[in-house]
Structure 1
C-alpha cells in the first residue's frame, strides 16, 4: 500500500478517497449506536430551530459556531444521525486533501508523495465515534488552515500581514470548540521563534484571533445575554465534565498506534536532520509545539472519548510519515504499515460490529444512548431530565433551558438561594415539562421551595420502573 501511494499523481486523490469510503462503508450502511454527545448536539440544533437562543434559553456548553451547524442540519434534515455522519465525511475529505496538498505544495518532506494524506486518513479512524460531526472535527479544519498559512510564512524571508489570517482561523476554530483557543499560543510561539515577524505582525495575529470572538460577544451583548454566555460557555470550560467515560482502555487502545508511530517518527529525525532544509526543520518544530498545546487542551475537554483527540491527528500523521520514510528496507516499511493499518481497523470495526465476541474494547458503552422501560414509555412528550443521562430525550423534546446537568446545578442544586428558586419557577412557567425525570433527587426540595409547582405535578408509584429515578407527570 505504501508503494502504491508513493507516487505523486493527481489520480491518487481518487484512490485515497476511495479507500476512505471503503473503510467507512460497512459502518455507514448499518445503523450506528447513537452516542450521548450526538443526541445532545441534535437537541441543541432542534431547540435553536424553534427560536431559542443558545446559553440564554438553552443551558449548554456547546460552542456557538458548532451549535449553528447543528441548527442548520436540523433545519434541513431534522434529528438525523445520518446527516451528522455524512457531513463529517465531507469535512474529513477536506482535511485529508488539504493536509496532503500543504505537505507537498510547501515541500514539508524530502520527497512528494501521498503518504501524508494516507496517514491522515488512517488516523482519522481512531474509533467509530470519529465518524460523527463533532466540534473537535470542525475546529481542526480551521487549525489546519492556520497551519497552511503559517507554513507559507516559513517559506519567506520574513512574515507578512497574512499572519492576520492565522489568528483569524484560530479564533474561528475556538468558536467551534473553545479549548482550541489555546492554539493562539502555538501560533504566537511559532511566529516568535521561526519567522521574522515584527511586533505589528504579532499584534495583527492576536487581533485576527480576537476579532471573531469580539463579534460573538457583541452579538450576545445586543441580546442582553452576556452573563448567560459567561456562565454557560466561558466559565464552564474549566468546570463542565459531561458523560463520564470509564472506558479508558478503549481510549488508550485507539491512541496507541497513531501516537506510537508519531513518536517513533519524531525520534527518527535525530539521525537524519541533515537531510532536511532549514524551512522543513522549522515546520518539524512547530508541529512539536502543536502537539504540546494539544496536550494542554486535554484538561479542558468536556468529556474523554477518541473523538476528542482528533486535534492530535495532524502532528501524529505528520511525524508518522518520517518513521516509514526513514526505514531502509521498503518491504519492512510496507509490512509495518499493513500491521498498523489492520490493527487500527480491527479496533475501529470492533466498536460496532463486535468482531471479538465478549470483548468490550472499543465499544464505548458508557457513551451510548441507552434504552430502558422508562424511555419506551415516554414518546413524543416534553420532558425535563435532571441528571447526566439524556437517553430519555431520544424520542421526546426537552423542556426548560436545563439541558446540561452540570450547568443546571447553578439553579437546581442551589435551591436555598431565593433567586435560583425564582429562576426555576419562571422557566417552568414559560415552558412546563409534561414529565420530570429526577435522577438527582432535587424535585422534592424544589416543591418545598415552590409549592405552586408541587400542585401541578404528581409523583408516579412505579418503584423500580424508573431505574432509580423519580418520575413526575404534569396534572392537566
Structure 2
C-alpha cells in the first residue's frame, strides 16, 4: 500500500477515497457509531435559528457564530440530518487531506513528491469516531490550515506582496469565529510570522488587520441586533469561566492518541538523524513544531473535553509521521511502521469506541435514548441538566440550550431583569415539558409563583404544562 501512494499521480486520490469509505464504513455500518451530545446541540441551535431567532440573544450556547450559521443553513435545507453532518465532514476531510499534501509538494517540504502525507492524515482522522462529524473544530481547523499554507508561502518564497500576508490574518480570524479556542493562533501567527516567515512591520500590521476584520464585522452584526453583550459574554468569556463538559477523560483521550503521538516522535527524530534538509525545509519544520505547541495550548480553552477538540494537531502529526516513510530505507522497518499506521491506528480507534461503550466511559458523551425519554417525543421541552437525550425526538422551547451557561441565568435570583426575562420566555413559549435534573426549575417556581400556577410536577423532576 505504501508503494502505491509513493507515486506522484493525482489518480492516487481514488485510493484515498476508497480508504475513507472503508475506514469510515466500519465506524458507521459495523460498529454503529452513536450520535454524540454536541451533534444534538448543534442541530437544536440550527433549528432555533431557522425559526428566525438569533444566536446568543435568543439561544444560550457558546457554539461559534459561523459554525451555528452553517448548522442553520443545513437545517433549512435538510432538517435534522445526521447523515448530512457526516457527509459534509467527509468533504472537509478530503479537502484538508488534499490541501496538506499539495502544500508539502508545492513548497518542497520533502524531496519526494508523493501522496504519503495525504494517506497518513486520512488514517489519523479515524483515531476516533467523533473526528468524522461536522464539528466547529473541523470547520475552523480547515481555515487554520489555509492560514498555515499562506505562512508556508512566506517562508519559502519570501514574498513581498501583501495578498498572502492579508490572507494569513483573515483565515486565522475566520477560524476563531468557527471555534473560539483557535484564538491561541493569534500569538502563533505573530511569533511565526516575525521569527520564521520574516514579516516586516508593514506585513505584521496588515496581518493583524486581516485577523481582526472578520471578528469586527461579526461583532458589528451583533451590535446591530442589540446582542453584542451576549456575544461577548457567552462566546468569548462565559465558557472559559464555567465548568467544562468533561465528556471524555483526558486519560481516555490520551489512550486514543497514544500510537500516532509515538509515531510522530519517531518521525521527528528520523528527520533529525537521517536527513540533511535545506534552509527552507528547516524553516518549515520550525513552523510545524511551533504550530503543534500552540495547537496543544488551544485544548485548554475548549468548553467540551472530547477527542474532536484535538483535530487541529493532525497536520503536525502528519508532517512528522510522513518523515518515517520518506526518509527510512530499511524495508523491514517500513513494513512494521506501515502496519502500525494503516492497521494499528484504525483498530485503536475502533477498540476505543467499543471499550468506551462497554465500560460506559462515553455515557455522558453519546445520545442514548431509552423508555424514560419517550415522554418528550413530539413535544416542545426544556432540559435543565446534562442528559439531553430527551431532545432527540423533541424540540427546544426557550433559549436555555447550554445547561451550564443557562444555570448562570436561572439561579441569578438577585437580578430582576434576568428573572423577568425567564418568566417572559416560559410564559410566551410555554414548553410542554420541563425536565429538571438538578432542581433549578423547582427553585424558580418558588421565586416566581406565577410559573407554579401553569406547571405541575407529575414525576420527580418532570413538570408538565397545565391544560
Q: Which residue does the alignment assign to 1:366?
A: 364
Q: CA deviation at 1:205?
A: 0.4
| 1:217-246 Cα shifts (integer Å, max 9, x gaps) | 000000010111112101124124453224
Q: CA RMSD in A?
A: 1.9
Q: Which residue does the alignment assign to 1:25?
A: 25
Gaps of 5+ in 2: none
Structure 2 counterparts to residues 105-254 of structure 1, below 5 A: 105-161=106-162, 162-254=164-256
Name whichever of 446-455 and 60-69 sits farther off.
Answer: 446-455
Q: Which residue does the alignment assign to 2:451?
A: 453
Quote the Cα distance in structure 1 between the aligned partners of 2:113 and 2:127: 26
**Equivalent of 2:260, from 258, 274, 286?**
258
From the superposition, tell whether residues 157 and 105 of structure 1 become closer, same or farther in structure 2 (CA, over 3 Å): closer
Q: Which residue does the alignment assign to 1:441?
A: 439
Q: Which residue does the alignment assign to 1:467?
A: none
Structure 2 counterparts to residues 42-61 of structure 1, below 5 A: 42-61=43-62
Q: Which residue does the alignment assign to 2:12?
A: 12
CA contact (8 A) 2:100 2:117 kept: yes
Q: Which residue does the alignment assign to 1:279?
A: 280
Quote the Cα distance in structure 2 between the aligned partners of 1:6 and 1:58: 49
Q: CA deviation at 1:404?
A: 0.5
Q: Which residue does the alignment assign to 1:298?
A: 299
Quote the Cα distance in structure 1 between the aligned partners of 2:260 and 2:301: 22
Quote the Cα distance in structure 1 between the aligned partners of 2:242 and 2:218: 21
Quote the Cα distance in structure 2 between the aligned partners of 1:159 and 1:251: 42
Q: CA deviation at 1:373?
A: 3.0
Quote the Cα distance in structure 1 between the aligned partners of 2:431 and 2:45: 17
Query: What SS does structure 2 have at the residue aligned with 1:122?
Result: helix
Q: Which residue does the alignment assign to 1:102?
A: 103
CA contact (8 A) 2:151 2:197 kept: no
| 1:36-65 Cα shifts (integer Å, max 9, x gaps) | 000000000111111110000000000001
Q: Which residue does the alignment assign to 1:466?
A: none
CA contact (8 A) 1:410 1:420 kept: no
CA contact (8 A) 2:65 2:177 kept: yes
From the superposition, tell whether residues 98 and 50 of structure 1 become closer, same or farther in structure 2 (CA, over 3 Å): same
Quote the Cα distance in structure 2 between the aligned partners of 1:455 and 1:445: 14
From the superposition, tell whether residues 69 and 445 of structure 1 become closer, same or farther in structure 2 (CA, over 3 Å): same
Q: TM-score, normalised by structure 1?
A: 0.93
CA contact (8 A) 2:248 2:306 kept: no
From the superposition, tell whether residues 209 and 226 of structure 1 become closer, same or farther in structure 2 (CA, over 3 Å): same
CA contact (8 A) 1:435 1:471 kept: yes
Query: What SS does structure 1 have at the residue aligned with 2:57?
Result: coil
Quote the Cα distance in structure 2 between the aligned partners of 1:76 and 1:375: 27
Quote the Cα distance in structure 1 between the aligned partners of 2:49 and 2:13: 38
From the superposition, tell whether residues 471 and 135 of structure 1 become closer, same or farther in structure 2 (CA, over 3 Å): same
Quote the Cα distance in structure 1 between the aligned partners of 2:352 and 2:87: 19
Query: What SS does structure 2 have at the residue aligned with 1:423?
Result: helix
Query: What SS does structure 2 have at the residue aligned with 1:79?
Result: coil
Query: What SS does structure 2 have at the residue aligned with 1:437?
Result: strand
CA contact (8 A) 2:382 2:435 kept: yes
| 1:103-162 Cα shifts (integer Å, max 9, x gaps) | 112111121111111111111111111111111011111111111111111122354312
From the superposition, tell whether residues 246 and 174 of structure 1 become closer, same or farther in structure 2 (CA, over 3 Å): closer
Query: What SS does structure 1 have at the residue aligned with 2:364?
Result: helix
CA contact (8 A) 1:160 1:197 kept: no
Q: CA deviation at 1:266?
A: 1.6
Q: TM-score, normalised by structure 2?
A: 0.95
Query: What SS does structure 1 have at the residue aligned with 2:368?
Result: coil
CA contact (8 A) 2:144 2:175 kept: yes
What is the number of equivalent residue pairs in this alignment?
A: 465
Q: CA deviation at 1:430?
A: 2.3
Quote the Cα distance in structure 2 between the aligned partners of 1:159 and 1:116: 29
Quote the Cα distance in structure 2 between the aligned partners of 1:215 and 1:133: 24
CA contact (8 A) 2:380 2:395 kept: yes
Quote the Cα distance in structure 2 between the aligned partners of 1:358 and 1:92: 25
Q: CA deviation at 1:351?
A: 4.9
Quote the Cα distance in structure 2 between the aligned partners of 1:159 and 1:189: 18
| 1:326-382 Cα shifts (integer Å, max 9, x gaps) | 323023112222123222211333355x4x799549x73331112233311221111
Query: What SS does structure 2 have at the residue aligned with 1:3?
Result: helix
Quote the Cα distance in structure 2 between the aligned partners of 1:248 and 1:143: 24
Quote the Cα distance in structure 2 between the aligned partners of 1:208 and 1:322: 33
